[in-house]
Amino acid sequence: MKTELTQTQKEKILAHVNEKGKIPCVKALQVARELQVDPKNMLDITDELQVKIGDCELGVFGDRPVGDVDTELYKKILTFSDENKKVTCPSLWREAQNSNMKQVRSTVHGTDLFVTYCQLGCFEEGRKKWK
């Protein structure tokens, strides 16, 4: 379903585009909430504006910094992943509220976990950052 935006709404999105021509993941989520747009439509919206979504907070794409794997966090994430070690983006964001996003990102990035169902519509099937 196509989301029609006003010029003011488009400008609000474009105001967050960085020097690389991308809107960071966290800013795209923030703007979606502010504009009362379903975040799942943000990929289509940014495509129409010829802007890419970048710097995934979970480290699936972009250049967000990562640290060491937290083995206890990894075990906890496994409890809500499926048998193929796929875990949804929203569930990882919820987990980040209990620890922190960098720990979650580092653990996902440094292990065999796959992220599914991006909140912004960037991907549905499992993806893992390419090394």
Task: Report the distance separating Cα 59 and Cα 74, nearest Å.
Answer: 15
Q: Taking the model in full, what pTM does it have?
A: 0.84
Location of structure tokens 């960098």: 102
pLDDT of residue 111: 94
Each residue of 63-105: pLDDT tens digit? 888 899 999 999 999 999 999 999 999 999 999 999 899 999 9
pLDDT of residue 25: 94
Task: Report the distance separating Cα 22 and Cα 83, nearest Å.
Answer: 34
Is residue 100 classed as helix, strand or coil in its secondary structure? Answer: coil
